[in-house]
Structure 1
Amino acid sequence: MKWFQQNRALGTILVVSGICVLLGAVLLYWRWSVWSEAKQTFDQATAERNRLQRLDPFPNDANYRKLQGYLERYNAALDKFKEDLKADVAAEPPLAPNEFQSRLRQATLAVEERARTNNVKLPDKFELGFDEFARTMPSTAVAALLGQELSQVQMFINILLDAKVDSITAFRRRPLPEERGASPTPTPSPGQRVATTAKPGGTPTPKLIERNVIEVTFKAAPGAARKVMNEITSSTSQFFIIRTLYVHNEKDKGPPHERTATPTPAPSPQASPGQSPAGALNFIVGNEHIEVSATIEMLRFTF
């Protein structure tokens, strides 16, 4: 103690040095522990990696049989789903060109008779959009596709006729790409995006869906127009997609305000209880007719 009092500066240096050495030893031990844990983790990961590299990646027989069972069930479910989808579209029977022309003539006569029965006015010389084939026969390669489209168009026209619209003022069928001898390249509709995907080898992915497009304009009462839209969207015999829809009211302006009210005539005392009064009710809204223009896509599956 006397030595420390006599050599205070040297003693202070020794004490501080001892504390620093102790702290350094503690810090060194802590970092060595962290390094040991990290090295142990790295050694374990390296050993696991080396073990996996030496393993055979092919599954064992039990797992392989289980995988094959999964694939077979998936393929069976996929094939069944495709068949169900094909059942919901018009069939594509093989047709010769003269057979298609005969079917077109029969379908046109059936539509005209149905229109007369339901009091629906059709366009002049209405050939269901196949005007050119009413005079000339199609090629053999496209006859079957045209026969399928004819069935689709006839289903759509029957929906309009059964709803008893007032008239069909315009009807146009967009030609199939096969009619021009071109490959079926999709024509994007307004607001529709077409995604093109390709396999790694550069081979384009085969198309699964083709669209037959028609454009129609008809006049009808609002109730009949609603029935047409409901029948199109809920059809179980053909997939229809309403791509565009325009509705125009025949009355552009609302009813005028009457400045003077017409007095209601008093009922005659001789009128029977079940007889209506002399002044008939005048509905100012709700009895207008509308003009509907729509672009309809009729799907056909190519798988």
Structure 2
Amino acid sequence: MDWIRDNKPLAAILGVTLLGSLALGYMVFSSWSGYSESSDTYQAVGVQINNLKSEKLAPTDANLKSKQAAVAAYATEVNRLGTALVTLETAVEPIKEIEFQAKLKAKISETRTQAAAAGLQLPEDFAFGFEEYTGKLPISAAAATELSGYLDALNELVQVLMKSGVKSVDLLQRSRLAAETQNAAPVQPANNNFGRPMQTAAPILDKRQIVLNLTLDQGPLQLLVSKLTNPEDMKYFTTLRLLRIESQVQNGPLRKDVRIAPPDQTQLNNASPVQDPNKKAEAPSDEIKPPPAAPVDVVPVFGNELLRVRMEIDLVRFLPAARGVAAQAPAGN
């Protein structure tokens, strides 16, 4: 301390130099650390770039041609499938408005007769969901033609219900077609973030929804679901969108409601060991006879009720644009 008091100028110079050296050392250390981190990051990015260049999907001309060939082959298969689906569609013959109404009434009468023979109960106002057209005509011949194809599909569906063993059809509803309304608004293309209309491919299919409320047993339900997906039973394309099942009887029976029928007197007489003394004894025989049936002492409480089922079915109709769907799809950016 005496030396510092005796040499104040020199001590001040030495102190400033020491502080400057420490600050400079800290700056050098920080810069070196930042350099090391940046160098490591640069080297890691370089390794990633080299790895990407060595991969099979590297952006080379050979890989580009290979991808284009694969996409072209995929598009060919998709278009081939679309062509097959359109070919399998049932053709709809042009029909006039009055002819459609006559066809509808004839189908209703014919189906009621068939349903009565098959044991299928239909609603009183059953008309395949076309109740309004029993009293009025479609708005145009084009609408009548589309409705005629729609009617054929619904008639085929009711035939499948009969063949599956459905007990009753409690409800049958259908979605309306755009052609049924006089002023159907055209679909406007969506806009992207830049205010320009986006490219949209032509629609390849049309879905028509059918709602059914049915009463049936478990076996016919399984058979119905199977037939809806089998082209040999249902020649129209259908998809089961919703299936809701509940028991016809929600609550168990009360004890007072469960009654056991009295046994048959004949069975009791045959089962009784007491023999009528006036009855002649049967001659001995080697024939083995089954014992008489035991009297009924139990009755089934659960298991005899039916099922109530709600089905929502999409009737799928493939449009001509499905033939070239891969070619019409907009290219990705």
User: TM-score normalised to the size of structure 1?
Assistant: 0.64
Equivalent in the alignment of 1:91: 90
- Number of residue equivalences: 274
Structure 2 Cα separation of the partners of residues 18 and 157 of structure 1: 102
Shift of 1:75: 2.4
Shift of 1:235: 4.8
Q: Is the 8 A contact 2:189 2:197 kept in 1?
A: no
Structure 2 Cα separation of the partners of residues 40 and 253 of structure 1: 77
Runs of 5+ unmatched residues, structure 2: 46-58, 274-287, 322-333
Matched to 2:271, the amino acid is S
Equivalent in the alignment of 2:254: 256
Equivalent in the alignment of 1:189: none
Shift of 1:202: 3.2
Report sequence identity in percent. 17
Shift of 1:168: 2.4
Structure 1 Cα separation of the partners of residues 258 and 79 of structure 2: 72
User: Could you say if the C-alpha distance between residues 16 and 85 of structure 1 is closer, same or farther in structure 2, counting changes exceeding 3 Å?
Assistant: farther
Q: Is the 8 A contact 1:120 1:167 kept in 2?
A: yes
Equivalent in the alignment of 1:220: 216
Structure 1 Cα separation of the partners of residues 68 and 92 of structure 2: 36
Equivalent in the alignment of 1:171: 172
Matched to 2:118, the amino acid is N
Matched to 1:179, the amino acid is E
* Stretch deviating more after TM superposition (281-290 or 23-32): 23-32
Shift of 1:34: 6.3
User: Could you say if the C-alpha distance between residues 22 and 297 of structure 1 is closer, same or farther in structure 2, counting changes exceeding 3 Å?
Assistant: same
Pair 1:268 & 2:291 matched: no
Structure 2 Cα separation of the partners of residues 240 and 23 of structure 1: 79
Structure 1 Cα separation of the partners of residues 131 and 112 of structure 2: 15
Equivalent in the alignment of 2:197: 202
Matched to 1:26, the amino acid is G
Shift of 1:177: 2.6
Matched to 2:95, the amino acid is A
Shift of 1:268: 0.3
User: Could you say if the C-alpha distance between residues 65 and 282 of structure 1 is closer, same or farther in structure 2, counting changes exceeding 3 Å?
Assistant: same
Structure 2 Cα separation of the partners of residues 240 and 24 of structure 1: 77
Q: CA RMSD in A?
A: 4.8
Equivalent in the alignment of 1:160: 161
Structure 2 Cα separation of the partners of residues 252 and 31 of structure 1: 78
Runs of 5+ unmatched residues, structure 1: 46-58, 187-195
Q: Is the 8 A contact 2:161 2:224 kept in 1?
A: yes
Q: Is the 8 A contact 1:167 1:218 kept in 2?
A: yes
Equivalent in the alignment of 1:121: 121
Q: Which one has more relative contact order, counting CA pairs under 8 Å at least 6 apart?
A: 2
Shift of 1:248: 6.0
